[in-house]
């Protein structure tokens, strides 16, 4: 499975002739390809080309007298196979800015409805333009409102666009964006679960907490967040109609039970957060009315809505503030 977009750096000398021979030619033979100038001027002292494949793939290549950078959602030509990969933040700012400007413009041409939410589109750019994940991730936001049931697409995307605009997750962009998926397969439940982590991040940040996502532990487990000295693990149960458990309350209990048997069992004192944002109104009202115990403490159970509101409850001693 291909990962999120990263740049490859070559420390060899390049010329227009070599670009045609070593990059364009093999891509033409495999896919059919054309080479064109960039849509935006590259940094001063650099030359750049767009390589556009007949199947819709795209690659960007820029070079100067000392090094070159490649990024693309297509097959990497053999001459670049041994090069190292870098995220947008790991290359010079001028290169990163040019590459992202080109890619954002490409996304705007292909799906202008998505780039209306500029911060969201930029944040997820490494997967929106990835080799395998570009279709599935865009479909998720287009047809499923970012995971909110019975919600308007505009409201769902605005919810995440507004939160990402706070910059709270900027330092964890590749980690968080990559979780949404770089696979061709479309898995609605998994993608909703991923966005559950964004919902929890907003829940914690709105209450004034400092968070660190994706914490690797000596036990071999990783947990979703750390809030000061407290570990936080997230689960997002599927709506009752999508699982064997046929009631909302049962779904919450079963989801919590699954977590307590692995990560939480190894780390007593961690906080379990159950995100019920996939539940329609009626199902959530049943959960909130009964406030079931999931068999673990401390636990937070909540539901986010696209208007930014959060409703929920907690039991046990949660050692950090909550917005409800």
Residues 151, 241: one domain? yes
Question: Is residue 155 domain-shared with residue 290, that is, in the same domain?
Answer: yes
CB hemisphere CA count around 284 (13 angstroms): 20
Mean per-residue pLDDT for 227-234? 95
Q: Whole-angstrom Cα distance, residue 119 to residue 304?
A: 20
Number of domains in the chain: 2
Residues 149 and 190 in one domain: yes
Structure confidence at residue 222 as a pLDDT band (50, 70, 90): confident
Q: Of 94, 109, 124, which marks where a domain is finished?
A: 109
Q: Are residues 81 and 162 in the same domain?
A: no
- Measured distance CA(158)–CA(144) in Å, rounded: 13
Do 297 and 172 lie in one domain? The reply is: yes
- Considering the domain architecture, whether residues 99 and 151 belong to the same structural domain is answered as no
pLDDT over 90 at 245, yes or no: no
pTM equals 0.94
Q: Is residue 300 part of a domain?
A: yes
Give the pLDDT band of residue 177 (cuts 50, 70, 90): very high
Residue 128 lies in a domain: no
| Alpha helices per DSSP H over 86-170 | 93-110, 112-115, 118-123, 125-128, 134-144, 153-164
Residue 133, domain member (yes or no): no
Instruction: Decide: 36 and 60 in contact? Cβ < 8 Å.
Output: no
pLDDT, tens only, 3-30: 899 999 999 999 999 999 999 999 999 9
The pLDDT value given to residue 182: 64
Q: Give the three-class secondary structure for 288.
A: helix
Q: Are 14 and 147 within one domain?
A: no
Of 88, 109, 130, the residue at which a domain comes to its end is 109
Q: Indicate if 156 and 236 belong to the same structural domain.
A: yes
Collapse the DSSP code of 49 into the 3-class scheme (helix H, G, I; strand E, B; otherwise coil) and give the result. strand
**Matching residue, tokens 């964890």:** 172
Do you find a cis peptide bond into 225, omega within 30 degrees of 0?
A: no
Phi-psi group of 67: left, alpha or beta (phi > 0 → left; psi -120 to 50 → alpha; rest → beta): beta
In a domain, 320, yes or no: no
* CATH number, residue 146: 3.40.1350.120
Q: What is the pLDDT of residue 258?
A: 73
Residues 273 and 204 placed together within one structural domain of the fold? yes
Parent domain of 104: 7-109
Last residue of a domain, one of 57, 88, 109: 109
Same domain for 73 and 156, yes or no, is: no
The answer to whether residues 169 and 216 belong to one domain is: yes
321 assigned to some structural domain: no
**pLDDT score recorded for residue 119:** 98
Half-sphere exposure of 6 (CA within 13 A, CB side): 17
Measured between alpha carbons, how far apart are the two ends of the chain, in Å? 41
Residue from 9, 3, 2 nearest 175 by CA? 3
- Tell me if 203 sits within 8 A of 277, measured CB to CB: no
Beta-strand relationship, 271-275 and 299-304: parallel
Distance CA 283, CA 27 (A): 52
Domain contains 171? yes
Q: Among 38, 41, 123, 35, which Cα is nearest to 87's?
A: 123
**What pLDDT was estimated at residue 141?**
97
Does the residue 91 lie in any domain? yes
The model's pLDDT over 115-159, given as tens digits with 9 standing for 90+, comes to 999 999 999 999 999 998 999 999 999 999 999 988 999 999 999
Judge whether residue 263 has pLDDT over 80. Answer: no
Q: Does residue 146 lie in a domain region?
A: yes
Are both 152 and 298 inside the same structural domain?
Answer: yes
Is-contact 114 37, C-beta < 8 A? no
pLDDT tens per residue across span 30-65: 999 999 999 999 999 999 999 999 999 999 999 998
pLDDT surpasses 60 at 243: no
Alpha-carbon gap, residue 223 to 259, rounded angstroms? 11
């Amino acid at each position: 499975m291909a990962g999120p977009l990263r740049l490859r750096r070559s420390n060899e000398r390049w010329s227009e002739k070599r670009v045609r021979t070593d990059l364009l030619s093999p891509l033409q033979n495999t896919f059919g390809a054309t080479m064109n100038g960039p849509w935006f001027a590259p940094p001063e002292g650099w030359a750049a080309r767009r390589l556009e494949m007949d199947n819709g793939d795209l690659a960007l290549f820029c070079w100067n007298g000392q090094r070159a950078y490649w990024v693309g959602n297509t097959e990497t030509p053999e001459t670049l196979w041994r090069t190292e990969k870098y995220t947008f933040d790991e290359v010079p700012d001028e290169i990163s800015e040019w590459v992202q400007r080109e890619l954002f413009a490409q996304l705007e041409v292909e799906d202008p409805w998505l780039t209306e939410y500029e911060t969201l589109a930029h944040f997820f750019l490494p997967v929106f333009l990835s080799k395998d994940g570009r279709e599935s991730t865009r479909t998720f936001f287009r047809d499923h409102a970012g995971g909110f049931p019975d919600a308007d697409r505009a409201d769902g995307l605005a919810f995440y666009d507004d939160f990402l605009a706070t910059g709270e997750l900027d330092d964890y962009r590749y980690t968080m964006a990559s979780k949404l998926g770089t696979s061709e397969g479309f898995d609605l439940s998994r993608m909703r679960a991923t966005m559950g982590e964004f919902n929890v991040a907003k829940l914690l940040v709105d209450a004034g907490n400092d968070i660190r996502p994706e914490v690797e532990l000596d036990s071999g487990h990783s947990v979703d967040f750390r809030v000061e000295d407290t570990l936080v693990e997230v689960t997002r149960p599927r709506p009752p109609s999508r699982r064997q458990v046929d009631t909302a309350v049962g779904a919450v209990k079963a989801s919590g039970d699954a977590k307590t048997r692995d990560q939480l069992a190894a780390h007593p004192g961690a906080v379990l957060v159950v995100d019920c944002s996939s539940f329609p109104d009626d199902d959530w009202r049943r959960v909130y009315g009964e406030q079931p115990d999931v068999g673990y403490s401390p636990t937070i159970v909540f539901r986010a809505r696209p208007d930014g509101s959060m409703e929920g409850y907690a039991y046990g001693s949660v050692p950090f503030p909550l917005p409800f």
